[in-house]
Amino acid sequence: MTGLRRHRWVHVRADAREAVAGQCRDEASGQAVRRCLALGWPLVARARATGDRADFHPAGLCLPLAEGRRRIATEVHPAQMAGVEEPAPLEVVAGVLPPQARAVAHELAALARTLGFTARAFGSAAWQWRTGEAYLTPASDLDLLAPARAAGLARWLEHLAAHEARSPLRLDGEIEDETGDAVNWREWVAAPASVLVKSPAGARLVARAALAEAWR
pLDDT class of 98 with cuts at 50, 70, 90: very high
| CA proximity to 93, closest of 126, 65, 61, 134 | 126
pLDDT class of 1 with cuts at 50, 70, 90: low
pLDDT class of 142 with cuts at 50, 70, 90: very high
Active site (annotated) includes residue 143: yes
3-state class of 38 per DSSP? helix
Q: Which of 52, 55, 143, 172 is catalytic?
A: 143
- Segment 54-63 shows an average pLDDT of 96
Q: Which of 15, 52, 141, 181 is catalytic?
A: 141
| CA proximity to 12, closest of 1, 24, 25, 2 | 24
For residues 105 and 91, the answer to whether their CB atoms sit within 8 Å is yes
Active site (annotated) includes residue 172: no
Helical (H) or strand (E) element with 89? none
- Segment 15-37 shows an average pLDDT of 95
pLDDT class of 25 with cuts at 50, 70, 90: confident
What does the alpha-carbon distance between residue 44 and residue 11 come to, in Å, rounded to a whole number? Answer: 9
The pTM of the whole model exceeds 0.75: yes
pLDDT class of 3 with cuts at 50, 70, 90: confident
Provide the pLDDT for residue 183.
98
Q: At what angle do helices 99-114 and 153-164 cross, to 10 degrees?
A: 160
Share of residues in the chain with pLDDT > 70 (%): 99
- Segment 76-83 shows an average pLDDT of 97
Residue-averaged pLDDT of the chain = 95
32 pLDDT higher than 80: yes
